[in-house]
Structure 1
Amino acid sequence: MLLEERLSNWIDSYNRNGYLNGTMLIASNENILLNRGFGMANWEHSVPNVPTTKFRIGSLTKAFTAMAIFQLHEKQKLNIDDYVGKYLHDYPNGQEITIYHCLTNSSGIPNYTNFPDFWFRTMRLPSTLDQLIDSFKGRELEFEPGSKFDYSNSGYALLTAIIEKVSDMSYGDYIQQHICHPLGMYHTGCDDGIKVVPGLASGYSFWEEPIHTAYADMSFPLGSYGLYSTTEDLFIWDKALKSSNILHKELTKKMLTPNLGSYACGWMVSEIMGKKCVHHFGDISGFSSEFLRFVDDEVTIIFLSNMNVTPVMHLSREIAKIVFDKNVSSPAPAVPITYTKKESIVGKYVMENEDKALTITIKNNEPYLTVPKMYGALYKFKLIPFCHDSTKTAFLTEMIYERVIFFYSLSGEIERVQYVDCFEKTHTLHKH
């Protein structure tokens, strides 16, 4: 079977169950194998996702911030080994933290998105870049700069301030004028949350149905996680990183070389399925994204989603398996069968060897599964019975590919329960 056919079979099996949300571009040797949109860009107006839909790309932004810093280094407007205090004069420990420490997440500056009040309060309020920096600059460093890796949006906020100071331009203008427009990326920019961006998807979460995600004010994500783009623009970006059009080859190599562990500058470099991959994940207010660049194999997978439960990281790796001719599984069609004993499965279930619990409830005579996901947030999915005999009953969830399977004893009692999550990890459950 041809690669395009295998890809399209797998994608169709996911898509017919409504498990794909967003836009996906897959390329090999710079030939686009697939470039498609799935699900809705806007549920309110029934606008579908298409290859030109724009998405907030979250931390994929960091790669652009790193490129801007390296360009300014090349123009000798700054040096990546300079201390940040040279540009941000009153910054505490500014004589210990270098620009390179911030680029490689080894600065020791506490990550402001991890502060206890961030999710409930701070992220929803407007803030200037200076106010944002003031919110963390008085805090103690978590370790000596350069001694270890710890992901920090705070370091990228400092880089944003340095770019603005050195270039005498706003971050958004710099990115468009020096990176995006010279490359022909006309659908990428900085989302300030005020300006209307034509073709920008809305971000969603899920509770029984698509819902609005918690509001995130866009005044301050900027160079940490504030850009929007399309899969097609990011494919241009992918190709630009292989050329020396906007940055000298030696500097590009430095930018893409890991410092501590697998983190380089705005990119991770690690082995996926035994192959070198330059990659990054992003998420912000309902959007999640994954960008995989198998540089030696010339395979690129870009998946931008506006439904935060879509497991873009896992699905992108499944696609990589198909491209590299490895086995992948596909979901059964979510066609409901008759199942009358719904009350028998209601209850709270605890995962063996984990402190996580799932709850099954009935609403309008339909079973629902409530389950914690990333950051501990709870989601609620309808359960669709799709397979039943005397030994077991199996359910599929709506919106993402998960399964709950009840196994019966000879007398028909529930003997054990399995939960297969969206990463295809199987958990044993015990009724609480």
Structure 2
Amino acid sequence: MDIENRINKWIESYDRNSYLIGSILIASNENILLNKGFGMANREHNVPNMPTTKFRIGSLTKAFTAMGILQLHEKKKLNINDYVGKYLHDYPNGERITILHCLTNSSGIPNYTSFADFWFSSMRLPLTLNELIDTFKERELDFEPGSRFGYSNSGYALLTSIIETVSGMSYGEYIQEEICNPLGMYNTGCDDGIKVVPRLASGYSFWEEPIHPAYADLSFPLGSYGVYSTTEDLFIWDKALKLFKILNKELTEKMFTPNFSSYACGWMISEIGGKKCVHHSGDISGFCSDFLRFVDDQVTIIFLSNMNVTPVEHLSREIAKTIFEEQSSLPCPAVPIPFKKVVPIVGKYPFENEKDKCLDISVEKEELYLTVSKMYGAVYKFKLLPVSHDSTKATFITEMINEQLVFYYSLTGEIESVQYIDCTGNNQMMNKAK
């Protein structure tokens, strides 16, 4: 089976269950093999996702910020080995933290999105860039700058400020004028949450059905996670990076040189499936994304989603397996069968090695639902569809994401255990709480 047929088979198996939400672009040897939208860009107005749909790309933004800094280095307007205090004069520890430390997430600056009040309060409030920096600048460093890796959106907020200080432009203007417009990426920009962006998807979460995500103010994500784009524009970006169109070869190679924990400058460099991959993922308020660049193999996979529970990182890697002729998983078809023995299944099934986490199975109108926490501890609720049943076990799959639960009966008809295969392929046996 050739590569396009393998991809189409994989796509069809997931799409028939409505497990793909967003836009996917797959390319090999600069040829686009798939460029397609799935699901709804806007559910209120029944607008479908298309290859031209714009998505907030979260931390894929960091690659644009890194590019901006390195362009300014190339133009000798700054030096990446300079201390940040040279440009941000009142910043505490500014004489200890270099621009390169911020680029490689080795600055030791506490990550503001990890603060206890961020998800419940701070992310909903408008902030200027300076006000954002004030929320973390007086905090003690997590470690000595340059000594190890520590992911920090705060470091990228400082880089945003340095770009604005040195260039004399706002971050959004800089990205537009120095990166996007020269490359013809006219569907990419910085989203401030105020200006109307044509063809921008709405972000969603899930609780029994698609819902609106928790509100996030977009005044301050900027160079940390504030850019929107399309799969097609990101493919232009991919090709421009290979051809050194807006940054010389030496600095581009510097940008892709791993530091601690495989993190380079706005990109991760690691092996995926035994092959070198330049990659990054992102998420922001109902959106999630993944960008895989197998540069040596000339394969690019871009998956942008506007459903925050879509496991884009896992799915993009499954696509990579399909391309490279490795075995990848395919979901069971969502063809429900009649099932009435719901009561024995209802209950809580604790995770063995994760305290206070469980599968909570409930029943509503004779239909079963799974409630379970996912990334960042956020809790989601999915309808369970029965797909097979006999005297020893009953198998269910979930709506929206590819999860499977196999409940095993005792000789007396009670549930003894459940096999839970989650949307990332993790497989574990769990016992019902008594």
Write the letter of the residue equivalent to 2:432. K
How big is the shift at 1:414?
Answer: 2.1
How many Å separate the matches in 2 of 1:62 and 1:16? Answer: 34
Residue 161 of structure 1 corresponds to which residue in structure 2? 161
Aligned 1:268-307 pairs, distance under 5 A: 268-307=268-307
**Any conservation in 2 of the 1:207–1:379 contact (CA below 8 Å)?**
yes
Residue 140 of structure 1 corresponds to which residue in structure 2? 140
Q: Are 1:13 and 2:13 an aligned pair?
A: yes
Describe the SS at the equivalent of 2:81. Answer: coil
Residue 413 of structure 1 corresponds to which residue in structure 2? 414
**Any conservation in 2 of the 1:215–1:285 contact (CA below 8 Å)?**
yes
How many Å separate the matches in 2 of 1:46 and 1:245? Answer: 39
How big is the shift at 1:427?
Answer: 1.6
Describe the SS at the equivalent of 2:425. Answer: coil
How many Å separate the matches in 1 of 2:411 and 2:244? Answer: 68
- Deviating 4+ runs (over 6 angstroms): none
Encode CA deviations 1:374-394: one digit per residue, 9 max, x unaligned.
Answer: 011100000000011122110
**Any conservation in 1 of the 2:415–2:432 contact (CA below 8 Å)?**
no
Describe the SS at the equivalent of 1:136. Answer: coil
**Any conservation in 2 of the 1:385–1:394 contact (CA below 8 Å)?**
yes
How many Å separate the matches in 1 of 2:417 and 2:363? Answer: 20
How big is the shift at 1:146?
Answer: 0.4
Residue 401 of structure 1 corresponds to which residue in structure 2? 402
How many Å separate the matches in 2 of 1:336 and 1:430? Answer: 25
How many Å separate the matches in 2 of 1:407 and 1:288? Answer: 35
How many Å separate the matches in 2 of 1:212 and 1:294? Answer: 34
Encode CA deviations 1:230-253: one digit per residue, 9 max, x unaligned.
Answer: 000000000011012100000000
Residue 322 of structure 2 corresponds to which residue in structure 1? 322
Q: Are 1:360 and 2:378 an aligned pair?
A: no
Write the letter of the residue equivalent to 1:77. K
How many Å separate the matches in 2 of 1:255 and 1:333? Answer: 43
How many Å separate the matches in 2 of 1:259 and 1:426? Answer: 33
**Any conservation in 2 of the 1:391–1:409 contact (CA below 8 Å)?**
yes
When normalised by structure 2's length, the TM-score is: 0.99
Residue 423 of structure 2 corresponds to which residue in structure 1? 422
How big is the shift at 1:341?
Answer: 0.5
Encode CA deviations 1:219-240: one digit per residue, 9 max, x unaligned.
Answer: 0000000000000000000001
Aligned 1:26-425 pairs, distance under 5 A: 26-355=26-355, 356-425=357-426
Deviating more after overlay: 325-334 vs 393-402: 325-334
How many Å separate the matches in 2 of 1:371 and 1:289? Answer: 22
How many Å separate the matches in 2 of 1:297 and 1:320? Answer: 11
Aligned residues: 432
**Any conservation in 2 of the 1:362–1:368 contact (CA below 8 Å)?**
yes
How many Å separate the matches in 1 of 2:96 and 2:181? Answer: 35
**Any conservation in 1 of the 2:51–2:230 contact (CA below 8 Å)?**
yes
How many Å separate the matches in 1 of 2:39 and 2:217? Answer: 25
Write the letter of the residue equivalent to 1:327. Q
User: Any gaps of 5 or more consecutive residues in structure 2?
Assistant: none
Write the letter of the residue equivalent to 1:308. N
Write the letter of the residue equivalent to 1:158. L
Describe the SS at the equivalent of 1:404. Answer: strand
Describe the SS at the equivalent of 1:362. Answer: strand
How big is the shift at 1:420?
Answer: 0.7
Deviating more after overlay: 409-418 vs 389-398: 409-418
Describe the SS at the equivalent of 1:281. Answer: strand
**Any conservation in 1 of the 2:101–2:146 contact (CA below 8 Å)?**
yes
How many Å separate the matches in 2 of 1:175 and 1:193? Answer: 17
- Identity within the alignment, %: 74
How many Å separate the matches in 2 of 1:352 and 1:420? Answer: 14
Encode CA deviations 1:126-166: one digit per residue, 9 max, x unaligned.
Answer: 00000000110001111111001000000000000000010
How big is the shift at 1:353?
Answer: 2.8
**Any conservation in 1 of the 2:416–2:431 contact (CA below 8 Å)?**
no
Describe the SS at the equivalent of 1:137. Answer: coil
How big is the shift at 1:413?
Answer: 2.9
Write the letter of the residue equivalent to 1:187. N
How big is the shift at 1:352?
Answer: 2.4
How many Å separate the matches in 2 of 1:414 and 1:87? Answer: 64
How many Å separate the matches in 2 of 1:339 and 1:148? Answer: 54
**Any conservation in 1 of the 2:352–2:430 contact (CA below 8 Å)?**
yes
How many Å separate the matches in 1 of 2:222 and 2:392? Answer: 54
How many Å separate the matches in 2 of 1:274 and 1:426? Answer: 22
**Any conservation in 2 of the 1:352–1:427 contact (CA below 8 Å)?**
no
How big is the shift at 1:411?
Answer: 3.8
How many Å separate the matches in 2 of 1:58 and 1:88? Answer: 25
How big is the shift at 1:372?
Answer: 0.5
How many Å separate the matches in 1 of 2:141 and 2:412? Answer: 61
How many Å separate the matches in 2 of 1:148 and 1:329? Answer: 36
How many Å separate the matches in 1 of 2:332 and 2:106? Answer: 44
